[in-house]
Structure 1
Amino acid sequence: MSHDGIGPRAVMRSAAFLTAGVLAVPALAGCGSDDPAGKPLATGDIGRADRARVADGGTLRWAVDTAPATLNTFQSDADATTTRIAQAVLPSLYRMDSRGRPVRNPDYLESAEVVETEPKQVVLYKLNQQAVWSDGREIGAADFAAQWRALSGKDTAYWTARNAGYDRIEKIERGKGNLEVKVTFSRPYADWRSLFTPLYPKDVMGTPDSFNDGARKKLKVTAGPFTVKKVDGKEDEVTLTRSVRWWGDPAKLSTIVLRAVPRDKRISALAAGTVDLAEIDPSAVRRITAAALEQSASSPLMGPGAKRSAADDLRSWAIANGSDEEAADEEISAREKLRGKTAKYARQQKALGGFEVRKSLEPAYTQLALNGADGPLADERVRRAVARALDRKAIAEAVLEPLGLPAQPVGSHLALSGQAAYADNSGALGRQDTKEARALLADAGWVPGGRVEEKKEEGEKAAGSQGEKDGGSEEDSETGSEGGDDGTYIVGEDNEEGGDDKEGGDSGENGDSGADGGEGGGDNKAPQDSGTGTQHLEQGSAPGAYAPRGTAAPARAEAAPVAKDGKALTLRFVLPSGPGSDTLRTVADRISTMLERIGIRTKISKVDDESYFKDHIASGEYDLALYSWPATAFPATDARPVYAKPVPGADGSLNVEQNYTRVGTDQVDQLFDQAITTLDDSERRSLLRKADSRIWAAAGSIPLFQRPQLTAARKNLANVGAFGFRTPVYEDMGFLKKSAQGPTGAPGAKSAEPPAGD
């Protein structure tokens, strides 16, 4: 699991594909200028090409995070790869367009509409008459009914992960003909379009045994442009082949191989030619970007020994040719290893020249979670103080600007810019305001002063070691890195003589004045009044407080640690430690610095990736944490369990559903309940936006930025890459014909998405 990516499994939040941005249809009405939903911040980047320019045949080797434990997306251990396979081999009645909104998939549906609302809601599906399963049987009401019974929650023999929406269905029956399916709901259900995507055959859904075990490692019956040929557990890969029973546009590729490759091994896999497509991290982006430059231009920027100076090389040569034989042997060995690494790097860079980076923004956002179950953050005033201390714009810029992506903070918990339910409701909490944040802390009883900790010895680092950092330590106020105060602002608190120079002007020796233990003299020494030996003070200055001319006071001069009843306010900030977590660590450092300015300390704890979510987030063993949530097209259904008010169980435990911050209100629950039963689209959006405003006000989680989606793709790959909101069209993926390639093998057209509905 990538913790810079989605925290909880995407299957828990339903709707299309959520973790890796894998999400032609009739056009939707365009957004008006006054539509608060706005437009997507970034379009997809997929190397778009007309099908006529794509060659027939070929194998796409696609790197994924894991080989799937199951092929059934409705089971608890389904993951992103499970969903990716389902999109290629099973019916999806609705897909996401480039604005993250559901649109009818004409390969399966001719139409679907609510035909009755009284006394019950009835939806009539009219299926594409060519839609058949791979065994030749028509897709029909029996498949819909089997899936409903399996997912309704009435039969506990089915090991299902979720039943949202299916539990509201009263009955399913055939319409006037085999191609019509009539679904009657016992209670109104606004998100009915979220159902039956993907749709499994009755062979899988018909019995508990077939549901629980039959579809874990194989799918005998499919209905998509591809079919599952083999799941190879030893090789950690799944092979999909072109379906001969597919009635739509035939797939261009003959084979897709989904191969599990760890994130930190993907550059090597791309360079070795074992994968053609892979999501990558920012460091890999830099490698591929450098590979596009001429070798003479790219080699000094990166690679082994790139930071070595001419002096380093000269010293190395001298040691290797010196009289100390042992040191010479060690240096010669090190030089040989460096040459080997450099040669390997050069070979990789040459191979990486055949790839390009396609980038967009995922349909997911990273948030700061505040655990409101107990401790200081159980007080809403403290949570709001934390939130008001954050400069979310600066955080988004730190992550996204270096990648050339739009750096806008996310304004909603329930949708992203461009989606129907989106509106920037962050005003319900208030903008960044350090003074107001301090006032909120004071109102909650947390004020500067009091016993906070023993004073550290001079020269001791304030920051903790090996991933733990005292939030009161000195940090660079802009980057959050350790080191902070360079000692040029000195308060002579121990100088009882009012600043007298006891050692003939060398004040740096005892640290009473001067530069924090540095050598005295120069700009660090106060001027002397001739004949008196006392320091000359400029008007308005205080004895014992000096800095070199032009030195600004530290940014944290007014941010004394806050305390209550003699105890400092220190929050445990939990982060994953594995590969791919660099972005989260950067964000955490920024947040820690921002909180330090209002007197809140943070103690960063880095934990193993595998235990991060299960043992810390889900179990509530944290104060602050960073993880991501997907933004779906059906927030009334999918977001409710994330923000539902925790309910005490009969055994005394707390049922939090997916609300891992443990912060919720009855009013938010009521607004979700109203939204899910409201069939009027405009009214439902209004209810959801009201719910979001109240979620902001409660300050249990603070959305920060939409996650970057970075994909390395061979330059001649078409219609695949960073999809953004849009569901991939698997039958259009392929390699460009040679006649359609540019001079470097790249698509001749700009790699970008068409407008929504194109």
Structure 2
Amino acid sequence: MCSLTALTVVGCSGSSHSDTSRRALPTYGTYDINARPPSSLRSGGTLTLPLAQMITQFNFDHVDGALDDVWRVDSMTEPRLFARDVKGVPHAVPAYLVSASVTSDSPQVVTYRLNPKARWSDGRALGWRDFAAQWHALGGGDARYLVADTSGYDRIGDVRQGAGAHEVRVTFKQPYADWRRLFTPLFPAAAYDTPGRFNSGWQGRLPITAGPFRLDSVDQTAQTLTFVPDSRWWGSRPRLDRIVFRVLDADAALQAFQNGEVDAVNAATSEAYTQLKNARDSEIRIGSAWDEVHITLNGAGGPLVDRSVRNALQRAVDRASLADVAAQGLPVKVPLLGNHFFMTNQPGYTDNSRPYGTYDPKAAERALDAAGWKSPGPGRTRVRNGRSLTLRFVLSEGTNRLGEDLAQLVQHMLAQVGVRVDIQQVPASAYGPQYLEKGNFDLVIFRFTGLTYPSSAYAIYRRPEAGQTYQNYGRVGSAVVDRLLGQASGTLDERTAQRLYDRADAEIWRLGHDIELYQRPQIIAVRKGLANYGVPGLGDVDFSLVGWEK
């Protein structure tokens, strides 16, 4: 399973870190979904959910498709070999897998036994060729495939048929601890086996599926995607008749929920929580997941090419004040993050942020002086060789008030040390492909979510190569980080791997890859009577189980 990215920050404004009226975040992996057995739910009904932006690339493994919304859609329509429970532990999904296990240690071999009933929408059975095509696309080193993440796949040495048409043997040339995250979703060879099919065949459509739902319609005018149960599905029929995703910005989604037009909405903001905590025909669900907010620094061009300038920005930003803003009016605390791989309430968390995550504007000023950026006087922008120290902070127009508030606060903080920040808002549809992925920014703020497999973060911190940036949008990396993360992902001993991730994390802080901010709480408002949906902890939502109480 790859990293889930949400490319906009959602939320609203100001608080005090010493406020004791809020309770701590729930235990790591706490869930709140109104769990009900499917038999107790009524058959039929529609679920309508907001969508951050219209999906144009339905291939989650493509660099343009590595979005949280795309993951949701693909998990409904493509084979999910493993699903994570509330604690993040992966389990084989019986509809697709009879079993999957390591059948040899030297070399590491994983044998998958596929459910013979599992078939693609073109009638073909799932088989070893699908695994081989996905491995070739993601781990074969062919730069024509515009991939988001190669980690894990690049450790595979061979994929072939096992003892029969429904068995697959995957042999690793290097050990890989998180092998269960691979091939989920599994994509069909018939729509994946050439760069053209991989890159273009999933644009605006799902060419071949094998899930409980299928894409019924795409309405560009209404900006909606509609999914209905797939009559070819061999598993238990979904409870819902229809799932509709509507493109709505954060403010519009809030209003739509209050008007009864959507059935769930983010409430992890002061504005939203205040309006929704006592709203009629709704309830608040709270839990804890892997969810972080950070500011990416672009080290590929402009003043931030210099690591010492990136480090100065880290010291000039008061992270605690930004977390206080995010916590305003919420019932739970919003803790600072000192680690890029583990959440604060997750086993294995170590704070490696010092000194770079420690607010010290005087140290920032000294670093900028040493880097040759001289101050013409208090309140004025620093200059070097006649050039002013001006940075562009790019925001999506889909970002609501919290994203804007945080950007403006950072603008003010950096101005105090002589760095000018110009805030530029761009169309939500262009934010990812035209700005984030092309490195067309100096600063951006967004989230990574769902990285319960630590190795899935490798794509964020590895050095770009052969024209591939993976998910390292700021292009900041080092051979040290690559080596440590490579060792960690191949280490089967959990404690040893954790030490390697800690060493890599300390190096990521030193490199000034980003300004890690805080752990985002999960607070969602849902329509009363909605079952098996809400905050799934570290788990995955199974849309085939979602429905309405009788």
Q: Which residue of 2 aligns with 1:451?
A: 376
Q: Which residue of 1 aligns with 2:43?
A: 56
**Mapped contact 1:101–1:420 kept (Cα < 8 A):** no
Distance in 1 separating the partners of 2:7 and 2:302: 35
**Partner SS, residue 541 of structure 2:** coil
* TM-fit CA distance, 1:97: 3.1
Distance in 2 separating the partners of 1:75 and 1:388: 35
1:144 alignment partner AA: F
Distance in 1 separating the partners of 2:526 and 2:222: 22
**Partner SS, residue 56 of structure 1:** coil
**Mapped contact 2:161–2:167 kept (Cα < 8 A):** yes
* TM-fit CA distance, 1:253: 1.5
Alignment of structure 1 residues 501-580 onto 2, 5 Å: 570-576=389-395, 578-580=397-399
Q: Which residue of 2 aligns with 1:123?
A: 110
Aligned counterpart in structure 2 of residue 605 of structure 1, from 398, 417, 423: 423
Q: Which residue of 1 aligns with 2:77?
A: 89
Distance in 1 separating the partners of 2:481 and 2:165: 42
**Mapped contact 2:201–2:207 kept (Cα < 8 A):** no
* TM-fit CA distance, 1:162: 5.0
* TM-fit CA distance, 1:406: 2.5
* TM-fit CA distance, 1:251: 1.9
* TM-fit CA distance, 1:252: 1.8
TM-score (norm 1): 0.61
Q: How many residues align?
A: 531
Distance in 2 separating the partners of 1:262 and 1:706: 22
Give the direction of change, closer, same or farther, for the CA distance of 1:190–1:714 in structure 2 (3 Å limit). same
**Partner SS, residue 244 of structure 2:** strand
Give the direction of change, closer, same or farther, for the CA distance of 1:374–1:269 in structure 2 (3 Å limit). closer
Alignment of structure 1 residues 420-459 onto 2, 5 Å: 422-427=349-354, 429=356, 431-434=358-361, 436-441=363-368, 444=371, 451-452=376-377
Give the direction of change, closer, same or farther, for the CA distance of 1:408–1:272 in structure 2 (3 Å limit). closer
1:355 alignment partner AA: S
Give the direction of change, closer, same or farther, for the CA distance of 1:622–1:284 in structure 2 (3 Å limit). same
* TM-fit CA distance, 1:233: 4.1
Choose 90-99 or 434-443, whichever is displaced more: 434-443
Aligned counterpart in structure 1 of residue 2 of structure 2, from 15, 19, 32: 15
* TM-fit CA distance, 1:574: 1.2
**Mapped contact 2:268–2:330 kept (Cα < 8 A):** no
**Mapped contact 1:42–1:405 kept (Cα < 8 A):** no
**Partner SS, residue 225 of structure 2:** strand
**Partner SS, residue 544 of structure 2:** helix
Aligned counterpart in structure 1 of residue 534 of structure 2, from 699, 709, 721: 721
Distance in 2 separating the partners of 1:615 and 1:381: 28
1:255 paired with 2:242, answer yes
Alignment of structure 1 residues 480-519 onto 2, 5 Å: none
* TM-fit CA distance, 1:622: 4.6
Distance in 2 separating the partners of 1:381 and 1:202: 46
Which structure dedicates a bigger proportion of its chain to strand?
2
**Mapped contact 1:39–1:417 kept (Cα < 8 A):** no
Q: Which residue of 2 aligns with 1:639?
A: 457
Distance in 2 separating the partners of 1:242 and 1:565: 61
* TM-fit CA distance, 1:411: 1.7
Give the direction of change, closer, same or farther, for the CA distance of 1:612–1:125 in structure 2 (3 Å limit). closer
1:184 alignment partner AA: T
Distance in 1 separating the partners of 2:112 and 2:426: 47
Aligned counterpart in structure 2 of residue 148 of structure 1, from 125, 135, 148: 135
1:664 alignment partner AA: G
The higher-RCO structure (CA 8 Å, 6+ apart) is 2
Structure 2: which 5+ residue stretches go unaligned?
9-24
1:704 paired with 2:514, answer no
Structure 1: which 5+ residue stretches go unaligned?
1-13, 22-37, 293-352, 454-471, 473-560, 738-758
Instruction: State, as a whole percentage, how many aligned pairs show the same letter.
Output: 34
2:228 alignment partner AA: T
2:293 alignment partner AA: T
**Deviation per CA, 1:55-79, whole angstroms, max 9, x where unpaired?**
2221212222334324333334434
TM-score (norm 2): 0.82
**Mapped contact 1:446–1:562 kept (Cα < 8 A):** no
**Mapped contact 2:394–2:444 kept (Cα < 8 A):** yes
* TM-fit CA distance, 1:631: 5.1
1:698 alignment partner AA: L
Distance in 1 separating the partners of 2:405 and 2:172: 48
* TM-fit CA distance, 1:220: 6.6
**Mapped contact 1:388–1:433 kept (Cα < 8 A):** yes
Distance in 2 separating the partners of 1:409 and 1:698: 19
Bigger Rg, structure 1 or 2: 1
1:240 paired with 2:167, answer no
